[in-house]
């Protein structure tokens, strides 16, 4: 019997990954994790200077400044990645936006903008990347959803929750369509993690107390606690996993 190496399926050497929203927070961390696992990583976000600095810090990174609200952005990102590396193996749809306002007061245009960034743009990226993945007969798409894509909340996150709920079911649908041809599609649903986007709420002591009280592990997420989940879904370690939602929320959705 051959020796068992449980680490081997997590190796991304020779793979090409795209990470959106990589200029800070979870996206930057995801790019570094995939790079450390051996992948060549394409990092994209609106802030060119930040992703250029990140790409320079990776082994073989490619920065692409883009606004995903631009209808042509998805195709341009995928084309640039294929021109540089010749293939696409992993897409991490991480870019996102949100509002914190009671639903009764939320302007419809603001609701529409959040849906555009959190649901329409990930679909466009997935569609563009799948063109390459289906041609090669393999690929892994990881949509970054949220605990609020699975449950409601009294917080003012109606647009965000609607978009992430849509992303969860879009994940299932794309998996059903594309997995027979070798392209797996899964979602990662984090709970509360301190990032640049959530900085303001984490400075609110009442918010931290409320979150801690409603989380079975009695704390928010820590840096690095999404690394294993992301790497699992991106790599061959999850070769028999598709259409799934991996929740990393300290137990929030369990109660």
Active site residues: 160
- Which regions of the chain does DSSP assign to beta strands (E)? 16-20, 40-45, 62-65, 90-93, 139-144, 183-190, 245-248
Domains of the chain: 10-190+226-246 (3.40.50.720), 196-222 (no CATH)
Quote the mean pLDDT of the chain: 94
Long-range contacts for 199-205 (Cβ within 8 Å, ≥24 apart)? 201/100
pLDDT tens, position by position, 49-108: 999 999 999 999 999 999 998 999 999 999 999 999 999 999 999 988 888 888 999 999
**What integer pLDDT is reported at residue 20 of this predicted model?**
97
Quick one: tokens of 154? 């009294």
Whether pLDDT at 159 is above 80: yes
CB 186 within 8 A of CB 238: yes
Rounded CA gap, 56 and 62, in Å? 8
Answer whether 144's CB lies under 8 Å from 121's CB: no
Task: Answer yes or no: are the C-beta atoms of 132 and 88 closer than 8 Å.
Answer: yes
**Pairing of the two strands 139-144 and 183-190:** parallel
Q: Average pLDDT in the 235-246 region? A: 98
Report, as an integer, the average pLDDT of 157-167. 95
% of the chain with per-residue pLDDT over 90: 84
CB environment 172-205: b (16+ within 10 A), e (fewer): bebbeebeeeebbbbbbbbbbbbbebbeebeeee
From 170, 165, 84, select the one nearest 130 (Cα to Cα).
170
Asked whether the predicted pLDDT for residue 171 surpasses 80, the reply is: yes
Quote the pTM value. Answer: 0.96
Q: What is the pLDDT of residue 156?
A: 81
Query: What integer pLDDT is reported at residue 137 of this predicted model?
Result: 97
Please check whether residue 132 is in contact with residue 77, taking contact to mean a CB–CB distance below 8 angstroms: no
How sure is the predictor about 208, in pLDDT bands with cuts at 50, 70 and 90? Answer: confident
């Amino acid at each position: 019997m051959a020796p068992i190496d449980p680490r081997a399926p997590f190796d991304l050497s020779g793979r090409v990954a795209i990470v959106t929203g990589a200029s800070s927070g979870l996206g930057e961390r995801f790019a570094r994790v995939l790079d450390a696992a051996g992948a060549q990583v394409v990092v994209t976000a609106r802030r060119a200077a930040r992703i250029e600095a990140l790409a320079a810090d990776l082994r073989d990174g490619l920065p692409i400044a883009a606004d995903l609200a631009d209808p042509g952005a998805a195709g341009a990102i995928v084309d640039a990645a294929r021109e540089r590396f010749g293939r696409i193996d992993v897409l991490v749809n991480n870019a996102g936006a949100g509002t914190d306002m009671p639903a009764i007061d939320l302007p419809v245009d603001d609701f529409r903008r959040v849906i555009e960034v959190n649901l329409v743009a990930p679909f466009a990226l997935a569609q563009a990347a799948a063109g390459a993945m289906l041609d090669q007969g393999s690929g892994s798409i990881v949509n970054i959803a949220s605990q609020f894509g699975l449950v409601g909340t009294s917080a003012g996150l109606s647009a965000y929750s609607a978009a992430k709920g849509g992303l969860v079911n879009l994940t299932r649908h794309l998996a059903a369509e594309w997995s027979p041809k070798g392209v797996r599609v899964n979602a990662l649903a984090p709970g509360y993690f301190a990032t640049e986007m959530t900085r303001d709420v984490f400075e609110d002591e009442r918010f931290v107390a409320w979150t801690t009280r409603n989380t079975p592990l009695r704390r928010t997420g820590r840096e690095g606690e999404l690394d294993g989940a992301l790497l699992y879904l991106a790599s061959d370690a999850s070769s028999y996993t598709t259409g799934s939602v991996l929740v990393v929320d300290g137990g929030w959705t369990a109660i």
